[in-house]
Amino acid sequence: DQQVKQNSPSLSVQEGRISILNCDYTNSMFDYFLWYKKYPAEGPTFLISISSIKDKNEDGRFTVFLNKSAKHLSLHIVPSQPGDSAVYFCAATAYNFNKFYFGSGTKLNVKP
């Protein structure tokens, strides 16, 4: 039962342009969402999060948008840099915070 889905396995973007990574979820109980970045041979690294009481959260070049009615969130990276090339996972959880559901990841390649 895949409650968090990332339907794009890969994305290729030119350096300096915007990268948009998408994530959909099915469980309306989810109220906290996170994005993680993962380099090969390393564990996922927390990037940015958003609570369901907000529809946007920004941190430097990274912005996460949440559309609760569509059960959709997206991560925008502007401008994209070659160092952003990694696998990006979105994750969701509910109020009690003792279980996280991850998507299958999107591999971002930022070309110089």
Residues that bind another protein in the complex, under the rule CB under 8 A? 4, 6, 32, 34, 36, 41-46, 49, 89, 91, 93, 96-105
For residue 92, the minimal CB distance to another protein (Å) is: 11
Looking at the Cβ atoms of 85 and 88, the one nearer to another protein is 88
For residue 60, the minimal CB distance to another protein (Å) is: 17
Looking at the Cβ atoms of 43 and 112, the one nearer to another protein is 43
Which residues make Cβ contacts (< 8 Å) with residue 28, sequence separation at least 6? 71
Both tokens of residue 45?
Answer: 């690294």
Distance between CA 110 and CA 26 in Å, rounded? 30
Asked if residue 94 lies in contact with residue 3, where contact means CB atoms within 8 angstroms, the answer is no
Looking at the Cβ atoms of 52 and 61, the one nearer to another protein is 52
For residue 43, the minimal CB distance to another protein (Å) is: 3
Distance between CA 109 and CA 112 in Å, rounded? 10
Give CA separation, 37 vs 29, 43, 84, 94, 110, in Å.
24, 9, 9, 21, 14
For residue 103, the minimal CB distance to another protein (Å) is: 5
Looking at the Cβ atoms of 50 and 110, the one nearer to another protein is 50
